[in-house]
Amino acid sequence: MKASTHIVTLNLTDPFGVAPYTRSKKKVVILTLDDGEFVCYGEGSPSRYYNETLVSVRTAFKKAKRLLVEQELFYIEPLMERIAQCIPRDPTARAMIEMAVFDYIGKHLNIPLYKLLGLYPPEDKQTSFTIGIDTIDIMLEKVEKAVDYPILKIKLGRDAKHDIEVMRRIRKRTGRALRVDANGGWTPEEALRCIKILADLGVEYVEQPLGRGSLRRMAELKMKSPIPIFLDEDVHRCDTFKELPDICDGINIKLIKTGGILEARRMLTCASAFGLKTMLGCMIETSVAITAAAHIASAFDYIDLDGNLLLSNDPFDGMKVEKGYLRMPERPGLGVIPRRAPKI
Ligand SMILES: [Mg+2]
């Protein structure tokens, strides 16, 4: 078994703004497992916000690599437990490794991952398409360009006055479903003022209105909010779930936060036990990580898997989106294949 990682620079079609920053490129780590019969893929798209970097992902992978070579990969649950003991603080690296191992198992059994997991393909699920923060004119232009996507997720949280104005203008232009992610950018006063207006505009829900760690304030906001509040930056593991029903209505689960699909499914079970709605989210990442997540999408209430749709140079081909609906590749494992380099 050969296992190696390399870094890929992804270019975004347009600059992508969220409350803390705007970016036009993202670097990710691609893991390749090659046993001579199949080449299998995993991906880690680290976020500095969670104290992970390209270096930390690759260092964690090097630490865990011997387990991949020594162990029987089909026994993925005990394997991932050992890997979690080896690299407990590196969920992005664990998610990347787990994707490649699931790809390996699916390819050897010749079935797609959703079937291996006993799940339906997510054919009736629609993903939202994200509009990053920009000037009002550019955001309106992006809304027009995203005509093929019936659900829009609008990034807000940098300036409450701009947020209210842009949402009013977007609502005037379109009757499509709107969701909002403030990425923790509002003060409690701004959040309440904005959320009341967003409710009048028919916004379905608001994600992470207040900064990470403001849980008491979030609970006060939830009591006053006319629309559901989802947490993203604040939720990583099941052990905080007991308090969550007082704080939010739903949670955003991402593979880089949970450390992979197995833990994401455990979180789903916990969320439903606590009466929380679930959303499946992503980072800026290639079709490898997006398709991996899409394999479990049928189990979620809301889907936000558009990180690859924002790229101009996705090096992989995998899950497709048609009118917002997820269309899985008819191939075993993750079902992703490298795109051919364009002819020059
Ligand atoms: Mg979010």
Please give the Cα distance from 205 to 10 (Å, whole number): 30
Q: b/e map of 198-212 (b: 16 or more CB within 10 Å)?
A: beeeebbbbbbbbbb
**How many angstroms separate the alpha carbon of residue 155 from the centre of ligand 1?**
9
Distance 208 CA to ligand 1 centre (A): 7
pTM of the model: 0.95
Q: Which of 194, 146, 129 shows the shortest CA–CA distance to 168?
A: 194
Residues 116-338: name the CATH superfamily: Enolase-like C-terminal domain (3.20.20.120)
Q: For 121-275, where are the E strands, in sequence order?
A: 129-131, 151-155, 177-181, 206-207, 229-231, 250-253
The Cα 209–Cα 229 span in angstroms is 8
> Rounded to the nearest whole angstrom, what is the distance from the C-alpha of residue 231 to the centroid of ligand 1?
8
Q: How far is the CA of 153 from the centre of ligand 1 (A)?
A: 10
Spell out the long-range contacts of 112-117 with Cβ–Cβ below 8 A and sequence spacing 24 or more. Answer: 112/295, 112/328, 112/329, 112/330, 112/331, 112/332, 112/333, 112/335, 113/292, 113/295, 113/333, 113/334, 113/335, 114/295, 114/296, 114/298, 114/328, 117/261, 117/265, 117/295, 117/296
Q: Give the span between the Cα atoms of 158 and 214, in whole angstroms.
A: 17
| CATH (one of 3.40.50.150, 3.40.50.720, 3.30.390.10, 3.40.50.300) for 2-111 | 3.30.390.10
Question: Distance between CA 100 and CA 153 in Å, rounded?
Answer: 29
Give the pLDDT of residue 343. Answer: 55
- Whole-number Å distance, alpha carbon 21 to ligand 1 midpoint, is 14
- pLDDT at position 242, please? 85
**Ligand 1 centroid to 251 CA: how many Å?**
10
What is the C-alpha separation between 253 and 237, in angstroms, rounded?
9
CA of 337 to the centre of ligand 1 (A): 28
CA-nearest of 261, 259, 214, 313 to 119 is 261
pLDDT value of residue 104: 98
326: which 2 tokens? 């997820």
Domain with CATH 3.20.20.120 in the chain: 116-338
Secondary structure (3-state) at 94 = helix
Rg of the chain, C-alpha, whole Å: 20
- In 280-313, which positions are buried (b, 16+ CB within 10 angstroms) versus exposed (e)? bbbbbbbbbbbbbbbbbbbbbebbbbbbbbbbee
DSSP-based three-state secondary structure for 137: helix
Residue 236, pLDDT score: 84
CA 280 / ligand 1 centre spacing (Å): 10
Rounded mean pLDDT for each run of 10 residues along the chain, 344 residues in total: 95 91 95 96 94 97 92 94 97 98 98 98 97 96 97 97 98 98 97 98 98 94 98 85 92 96 95 96 97 98 97 97 97 95 56
Task: List alpha helices for 89-212, DSSP H.
Answer: 91-109, 113-116, 136-145, 160-173, 188-200
Q: How far is the CA of 339 from the centre of ligand 1 (A)?
A: 29
Residues carrying CATH 3.30.390.10, the chain: 2-111
3-state helix, strand, coil in the chain (%, to 5): 40, 25, 35
| 181 alpha carbon – ligand 1 mean position (Å) | 6
The strand pair at 337-338 and 316-317 is best described as antiparallel
Centre of ligand 1 from the C-alpha of residue 323, in Å: 22
Q: What pLDDT is recorded for position 240?
A: 76
Q: How far, in Å, from the CA of 145 to the mean position of ligand 1?
A: 22
Q: Are 79 and 64 in contact (CB under 8 A)?
A: no
Instruction: Quote the pLDDT of residue 341.
Output: 63
Distance 24 CA to ligand 1 centre (A): 18
